[in-house]
Homo-oligomer: A and B are copies of this chain.
Amino acid sequence: MKITLSILAFLAMITISSQAVTVEQYAVFELTMKGPSTGNPFQDVQLSAEFSFRNRTLFCTGFYDGEGVYKLRFMPDAVGEWRYTTHSNFPELDGKAGRFTCWEASDGNHGTVKVRNTYDFGYADGTPFYPVGTTCYAWVHQPDELVQQTLASLAATKFNKIRMTVMPKNYDVYINNEPPFYPFEGSKETGWDFSRPNPAFFRNFENKIIDLQKLGIEADVILFHPYDWGKWNLDKMNTDQSVFYLRYLMARIAAYRNVWWSMANEYDIMRKTDEEWETYFLVIQTYDPYAHLCSIHNGMAWYNHSKPWISHLSIQTAYLQDIQDWRELYKKPVIIDECVYEGNIPNDWGNLTPEEMVNRFWISWCRGAYCTHGETYLHSENVLWWSKGGRLYGKSPERIAFLHQIMTETPTEGVYPHHSIWNKETYLIKDNEFYLHYYGNSQQAKARLQLPEKVKFTLEVIDAWNMTITPVPGEFSGLTEIPLPGRPYMAVRARSITK
């Protein structure tokens, strides 16, 4: 009560602008202002705002966009009237106040993705979100023609999350091209001025996030990664410079509803201290008003996923049998964000058959986790999807889309993973209602299900590779045996018959 009163007193003191703006829920309200352009406006000028809705106030930072232009971006999450007022150490940017009306999200705009029911994901509006992600680390750093091809390729899939790095990437023969923009003033030869971001670089990056948003794809934004290897030395920021970079990036992109934070790719290869990583996570906690999903991806060693700033596990592993233990241990969703990619390169991490890529998606899902795709087929011009985007050549994306359809047909509550004693078969179960048995690369010619005695079920045989769902005639209860085609990648789905 005391707090509410003081907020009201505070609001009464500020000048309310007369503009009548409207913004869609979970869309971006952007405030543009003119301000100083001399000195180092990126660091000399502090700009923030409070956005208030009823008894809530959210703190939001602005950024310098070059040429004397300052911006504040804010994503309202509630329908109704919002008020704001700015704060700055420069009078011309300080105390600017206003209001806008937030109207209900339009069709297809479900808001930010959050953790749902401990182990799963859902949009802010309650719609379940089943991540089927892909990986194109440096697609935004490619020529525009390739970028457009990547977007067209994505549009033809059901991928709804993409792992992508803020910084350009240098790795082996596969990727070492110069990006169209550099993130800071300076050059690799003369050194970078890490205190002066290049607005064009970040504008390019955020436009890609918007492009993805239009496709319904979450941007799993990788803030740091180890694959510079002295080519640009963009991985050589010290802690203060890194904090500044993070704050600048967040001021620009946190307001986009489809942003996820991936603190680092293969964080352990970067050899930063735990203290450093903690500093960066605290920056996110402080400057992201929306609490976007936040993870950190391992190379060999794992970060302590129990930390409160970790919303979900973003795991690299070739072994999926421990997923259920990880769920139990951390009580958080698990995404197998790298389990080796579909492709045929000699590198150990890039030569899964499409069958095995799809198999790993199914196993992950039936163990209560989610999996992420990547593609690394040898290419005459080294345009591999995994790093540059472009075209998809593999056979797994359409099968992953098929799995996504199966996911959406699963009960949204009360489902848990299970596995056979020898850890080979995996199941998703909602007691008395839903049983999905997945048989992996086994070739059994019969399925044996122990269904409840007192409930009647319909059965379907699902071919995860050939993407067929074949109903089995009849109704079934108790111990049930049905024929299977005797080839790998089969599943059986039992659904209770509603009385």
Contacts and interface: CB of A to CB of B under 8 A. Distances in A.
Interface stretch (A57-65, A153-161, A436-444): A436-444
B423 A318 contact: yes
A438 to B, nearest CB: 12
Contacts of A424: 318, 340, 348-349
Contact of A349 (B344, B422, B439, B486): B422
Interface stretch (A20-28, A226-234, A307-315, A445-453): A445-453
Interface in A181-233: none
Contacts of A423: 318-319
A348 B421 contact: yes
Contacts of A443: 343-344, 351-353
In this complex, the interface size class of chain A, counting residues with CB under 8 Å from chain B, is: 35 or more
A345 interface: yes
Query: How many copies altogether?
Result: 2
Nearest to A352: B442
A488 interface: yes
Interface of A, helix, strand, loop or mixed by DSSP: loop
A420 B318 CA distance: 12
B425 A348 contact: yes
Interface string A129-158: 000000000000000000000000000000
A300 B356 CA distance: 27
A269 to B, nearest CB: 11
A424 B488 CA distance: 21
B420 A481 contact: no
A352 B442 CA distance: 5
A346 interface: yes
A446 B349 contact: no
A321 interface: yes
A353 B421 contact: no
Given A318-B424, A346-B448, 5 more contacts: A345-B445, A345-B446, A350-B444, A352-B443, A356-B441
17 contacts: A318-B422, A319-B319, A343-B443, A344-B444, A344-B446, A344-B486, A346-B445, A346-B481, A349-B422, A349-B424, A351-B439, A351-B443, A351-B444, A353-B441, A353-B443, A356-B441, A378-B446
